[in-house]
């Protein structure tokens, strides 16, 4: 049984047709050419369909690559921001300061006439016009030991409140659903004294 494969090129688009057989299923055809005859119109339509499919595939790939490129740029910008903030936080932790820094407090960065930078709890308003030091900026020390510029404190507080609200909602939903540590780990909840005794035995 002879198999022939036909490929036509229409407007630079290769149209591949199904292999032709002179005896499909073991039955000899009287005229295999007429049985597999295709008109030029069919070939043109097939070529147009293939070309359209190629265009859609290309457009879809470009769209997806564009999304990935945007994500990469966003991550690069975020990485740059993290490095800049880390450098700033490290500088503020190592700058001269005569008091113990406490989270939640605002500190003011000054530069002396000698060029030395130092932190103070006294604001420029409290110093008044007699201050001979150059005011650089104000920063709040966070509980994670990072620093927030005073102009971003309100935004930072709103972000923290939102996160606390989300955590609180999740905790309430878990409580309503009866989800506990024991249900997640498959362990039984015993009294602390019993657990301590078991761990020491």
**Are 147 and 88 contacting, i.e. CB atoms less than 8 angstroms apart?**
yes
Average pLDDT over every residue of 163-186: 72
**Are 42 and 17 contacting, i.e. CB atoms less than 8 angstroms apart?**
no
- pLDDT tens, residue by residue, 121-131: 999 999 998 88
- pLDDT tens, residue by residue, 51-97: 888 888 989 999 999 999 999 999 999 999 999 999 999 999 999 99
What is the average pLDDT value for the chain, to the nearest integer?
79
User: What is the torsional sign of CA 61, 65, 66, 67?
Assistant: positive
**Are 188 and 182 contacting, i.e. CB atoms less than 8 angstroms apart?**
yes
Q: Which residue has the higher pLDDT, 90 or 177?
A: 90
Q: Which residue has the higher pLDDT, 159 or 23?
A: 159
The dihedrals phi and psi of 5, each to the nearest 5 degrees, come to -115, 135
Q: Tell me if residue 157 falls in helix, strand or coil.
A: helix
3-state helix, strand, coil in the chain (%, to 5): 55, 15, 30
Q: Is the pLDDT of residue 144 over 60?
A: yes
Percent of the chain with pLDDT over 90: 48
**Are 137 and 149 contacting, i.e. CB atoms less than 8 angstroms apart?**
yes
């Amino acid at each position: 049984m002879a198999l022939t494969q036909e490929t036509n090129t229409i407007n630079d688009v290769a149209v591949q047709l199904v292999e032709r057989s002179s005896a499909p299923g073991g039955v000899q055809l009287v005229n295999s050419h007429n049985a597999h005859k295709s008109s030029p119109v069919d070939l043109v339509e097939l070529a147009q369909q293939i070309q359209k499919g190629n265009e859609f595939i290309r457009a879809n790939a470009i769209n997806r690559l564009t999304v990935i490129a945007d994500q990469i740029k966003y991550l690069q910008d975020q990485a740059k921001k993290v490095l800049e903030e880390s450098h700033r936080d490290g500088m503020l932790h190592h700058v001269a300061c005569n008091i113990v820094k406490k989270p939640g407090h605002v500190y003011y960065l000054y530069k002396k006439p000698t060029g030395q930078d130092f932190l103070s709890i006294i604001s420029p308003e409290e110093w008044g016009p007699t201050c001979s030091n150059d005011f650089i900026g104000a920063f709040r020390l966070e509980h994670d030991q990072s620093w927030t510029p005073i102009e971003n404190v309100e935004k930072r507080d709103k972000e923290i409140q939102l996160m606390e609200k989300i955590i609180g909602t999740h905790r309430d939903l878990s409580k309503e659903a009866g989800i506990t540590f024991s249900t997640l780990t498959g362990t039984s909840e015993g009294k602390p004294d019993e657990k301590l005794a078991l761990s020491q035995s």
